[in-house]
Amino acid sequence: QVQLVQSGAEVKKPGASVKVSCKASGYSFTNYDIHWVRQATGQGLEWMGWMNPNSANTGYAQKFQGRVTMAITRNTSIGTAYMELSSLTSEDTAMYYCARGYSSTWYGNYFDSWGQGTLVTVSS
Q: Which is nearer to another protein, 27 or 47 (CB)?
A: 47
CA-CA distance, 80 to 115, in Å (whole number)?
A: 12
Q: Which is nearer to another protein, 49 or 53 (CB)?
A: 49
What is the 8-class DSSP label of residue 32? S
Decide: 81 and 25 in contact? Cβ < 8 Å.
no
**Which amino acid makes up residue 41?**
T
Residue selected from 7, 10, 23, 47 as contacting another protein according to rule CB under 8 A: 47
Q: Which is nearer to another protein, 78 or 117 (CB)?
A: 117
Q: Supply the minimum distance, in Å, between the C-beta of residue 16 and another protein.
A: 25
CA-CA distance, 51 to 49, in Å (whole number)?
A: 7
CA-CA distance, 51 to 9, in Å (whole number)?
A: 22
How many residues touch another protein under the rule CB under 8 A: the total is 25
Decide: is 115 part of the binding site for another protein (CB under 8 A). yes
Site residues for another protein per CB under 8 A: 35, 37, 44-47, 49-50, 59, 61-62, 97, 99, 102, 106-112, 114-117
